[in-house]
Structure 1
Amino acid sequence: RLVDLLDDLLPRLEADPSYARFLLDGQMAVVDDYLELRPHAEDRLRRLAASGRLSMGPWYVLMDEFCVSGETIVRDLQLGLERAAAFGGAMAVGYLPDMFGHV
């Protein structure tokens, strides 16, 4: 499903200005998963990220921050920021939607 979604989304973002921006769920793992199957799309992702049309990171994976150690959170963020830097940088929001531990 991820591959199908991004295969459809990328040309829309490139061609249709009404699709102003898309958020890749605040994590970089989806980028790596997609590129594992579509390595030729890396330059396309870089261009869209650099133009601000595709928001990436800052996390590597979304976690339930109340079920992992502080060290895990810091390392996940560090890895996500490093990976996003290869695409021009991560969005500057600690985006953690739908976490089970949120009150």
Structure 2
Amino acid sequence: MADSTYEWRFDPRLNIRRLILRVDPDRLTPGERAELAVRYQEMAAQIPAQVKAFEKRYMACYEELKQAEDDESFYALIDEMNDLSSRISDLNILYLEIEGRYLAGKVHG
């Protein structure tokens, strides 16, 4: 199934491997859907640790922000914190999408 149905791609922004589905999921057999659900679980399993890593860096930036001595370093830290917030948000949305779209059907279907 992996050769034509999906592929793994590393997402450097989110720092996780993402599953890229190449076919309409409605056209998959029940066996293929079950395998795909396992692959989505593998992808979802990466997310909590990466969120924690981004949160840890965010808090480090926050502490550095308290010590910022000039506008340039202050705004550089704010920019990094905004980027980290965006990444955390995107990971949370991705997790909820995986749980809602792909895994809920597996549990209830």
TM-score by length of 1: 0.32
Kindly indicate which of the two structures has a greater share of residues assigned to helix. 2
Kindly indicate which of the two structures has a greater share of residues assigned to strand. 2
TM-score by length of 2: 0.31
Larger Rg computed on CA atoms: 2
